[in-house]
């Protein structure tokens, strides 16, 4: 029977019990890291890059270790899909893909957006490189790289060049409102490709 007009209804969400209770061992997580500890700061040049497995915009699992011994990786963390500065940065990567991706280098873009958001954005903008979702556990990979903004729940603008051995060779971390310049990355990649030059 519906309540009388003006009668307050108390409601509380149901508590998970028994089979309804979801635990990490019962989930197929979109994100996993190789370590349970979170780095307080980003890895520095010479550090081993934290390994991870994330889903790309098509739902495919992608691990940093997939490229070990095969390609260098440029890991580009960005705050939000469909936002102005992020769109500009990823369009620069798309439009100059030869500078970022080749038989020697793979670009991996990462944000805390959901996989379906990544997919919609990649279709809208024509991004055809892997866009990885660090959605759940929320921001775990960004935390491992020291580029997770806890107050807002998003990645800051971190860029990491990782060599074939999984070692960080160059980094740049910008404030959320500061567009990154990729000239330093290009120079670092040249040095990595031709260390005797």
Residue 3 counted as domain residue: no
pLDDT, position 29: 46
How many structural domains compose the chain?
1
pLDDT, position 4: 55
Residue 113 counted as domain residue: yes
Contact residues for 156 (Cβ-Cβ < 8 A; gap 6+): 77, 79, 142, 147, 148, 149, 173, 174, 175, 176
Task: Retrieve residue 35's tokens.
Answer: 């370590």
pLDDT, position 177: 86
Residue 29 counted as domain residue: no
Find, among 150, 145, 175, the residue nearest to 160 by Cα.
Answer: 145
The two beta strands, 105-111 and 131-133, are: parallel
Residue 86 annotated in active site: yes
Kindly provide the residue ranges of all beta strands, DSSP E only, lying in the chain, ordered along the sequence. Answer: 31-33, 52-55, 61-63, 72-77, 105-111, 131-133, 148-149, 154-155, 157-162, 168-174
- Tokens 């670092």 sit at which residue? 188
Residue 70 counted as domain residue: yes
* pTM, to two decimals: 0.77
Range of the domain at 109: 37-193
Residue 1 counted as domain residue: no
From first to last of its 197 residues, the chain has per-residue pLDDT tens of: 555 555 554 544 444 444 333 344 433 444 444 433 334 588 999 999 999 999 999 999 999 999 999 999 999 999 999 999 999 999 999 998 888 888 999 999 999 999 999 999 999 999 999 999 999 999 999 999 999 999 999 999 999 999 999 999 999 999 888 888 888 888 888 888 765 54
Residue 185 counted as domain residue: yes
pLDDT, position 146: 96
pLDDT, position 97: 85
Integer-rounded Cα Rg, in Å, for the chain is 20
pLDDT, position 86: 93
Residue 158 counted as domain residue: yes
Catalytic residue (one of 86, 91, 112, 155):
86
pLDDT, position 156: 94
pLDDT, position 190: 84
Residue 17 counted as domain residue: no
pLDDT, position 181: 84
pLDDT, position 78: 96
CATH of the domain at 107: 3.40.30.10
């Amino acid at each position: 029977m519906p309540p009388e007009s003006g009668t307050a209804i108390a409601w509380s969400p149901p508590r998970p019990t028994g089979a309804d209770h979801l635990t990490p061992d019962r989930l197929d997580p979109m994100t996993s890291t190789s370590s349970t500890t979170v780095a307080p700061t980003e890895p520095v040049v010479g550090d081993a890059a934290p390994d991870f497995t994330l889903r790309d915009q098509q739902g495919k699992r992608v691990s940093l270790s997939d490229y070990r011994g095969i390609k260098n990786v440029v890991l580009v963390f960005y705050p939000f899909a469909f936002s102005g500065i992020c769109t500009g940065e990823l369009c620069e990567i798309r439009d100059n893909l030869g500078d970022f991706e080749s038989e020697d280098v793979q670009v991996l873009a990462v944000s805390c957006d959901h996989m379906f958001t990544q997919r919609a954005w990649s279709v809208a903008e024509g991004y055809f490189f892997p866009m990885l979702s660090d959605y759940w556990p929320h921001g775990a990979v960004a935390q491992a790289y020291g580029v997770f903004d806890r107050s807002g729940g998003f990645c800051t603008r971190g860029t990491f060049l990782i060599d074939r051995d999984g070692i960080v060779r160059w980094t740049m971390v910008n404030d959320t409102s500061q567009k990154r310049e990729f000239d330093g990355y290009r120079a670092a990649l040249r040095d990595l490709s031709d260390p005797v030059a």
